[in-house]
Amino acid sequence: MAKPADNQHERRISMEIVVDAYTEEECAMAWYCHLEDSLSFPFEARVRQAMAASPLRSGDRVSVLRLAHDQLCRVAIFVHALYNQRELVVPLAQLVPVRADKCTRLAVSDWHYWHDQGYSF
């Protein structure tokens, strides 16, 4: 179920992130490029929810190392994260930055909004 719209997120996403994206592939690449430019790696994060695509559980802590390859991010945004000395590829929608700069926190918040609203590429 989608959450109520947030005008700040909607405006930023439509006017800055996916403004020139007309196809699914362009939308995926727009998000990927935006996150590549906005996220400062590494950053510490906590798992906000368990997801089928990930072995992580709610409350786990990870170090986010980098974005996954752009080919993998054509369906959703994935990141490489270090957890218990293992590098995993997990959905960014699963993670909340706990020690990260403002730009990283805002970019992840925008992605969470997009994801939680049920939007897709």
pLDDT digits (tens, 9 = 90+) for 104-113: 999 999 999 9
Q: For residue 70, which amino acid is it?
A: D
* Per-residue CA distances from 86 to 46, 64, 99, 118 (Å): 16, 12, 20, 30
pLDDT digits (tens, 9 = 90+) for 22-63: 999 999 999 999 999 999 999 999 999 999 989 999 999 999
Give the integer Cα–Cα distance in Å for 69 and 66.
9
Whether the bond into 42 is cis, omega within 30 of 0: yes
Superfamily (CATH H level) for 19-116: Calcium binding protein CcbP, beta-barrel domain (2.30.30.530)
Stated pTM of the model: 0.91
Give the integer Cα–Cα distance in Å for 35 and 109.
11
Domain ranges of the chain: 19-116
| 15 SS3 class | helix
